[in-house]
Amino acid sequence: MTSSAPALVFDTDFRPEIGQAIPEAPGVVRITAPNGSPYTFTGTNSFLLGHELLALVDPGPEDAAHEAALIAAIAGRKLTAILLTHTHRDHSAAAASWHKKTGAALWFGGRHRLSRPLRPFEINPIRNSCDWGLVPDKILHDGDIIQAGDLDISIHTTPGHCANHLAFGLVGTDTLLSGDHVMGWSSTLVSVPDGSMADYFASLDKVAALSYSRYLPAHGAAIADGRAQAMALKAHRQVRNQQVLDAVGNGAYSLGKVLDAIYPIQPARVRLAARMTIAAHVDYLAEQGSLRVRRSPLGMRIALA
User: pLDDT digit string (tens) for 236-269?
Assistant: 999 999 999 999 999 999 999 999 999 888 777 7
172-194 pLDDT, tens digit per residue, is 999 999 999 999 999 999 999 99
Q: Within a domain: residue 199? A: yes
| pLDDT higher than 80, residue 2 | no
Specify the CATH number for the domain of residue 58.
3.60.15.10
Q: Within a domain: residue 17? A: no
Domain of 153?
Answer: 22-236
If asked whether residues 201 and 55 sit together in one domain, one would say: yes
Give dist(CA 232, CA 227) in Å, integer.
Answer: 9
Global pTM reads 0.95
If asked whether residues 281 and 178 sit together in one domain, one would say: no
What's the number of domains the chain is made of?
2
Contact between 66 and 21 (Cβ < 8 Å):
no
Specify the CATH number for the domain of residue 299.
1.10.10.10
Say which residues have a Cβ less than 8 Å from residue 95's Cβ, sequence separation at least 6: 59, 82, 84, 106, 131, 134
Name the percent of the chain lying above pLDDT 70: 98
158-171 pLDDT, tens digit per residue, is 999 999 999 999 99
Say which residues have a Cβ less than 8 Å from residue 130's Cβ, sequence separation at least 6: 87, 88, 89, 112, 124, 162, 194
If asked whether residues 219 and 248 sit together in one domain, one would say: no
Contact between 70 and 48 (Cβ < 8 Å):
yes
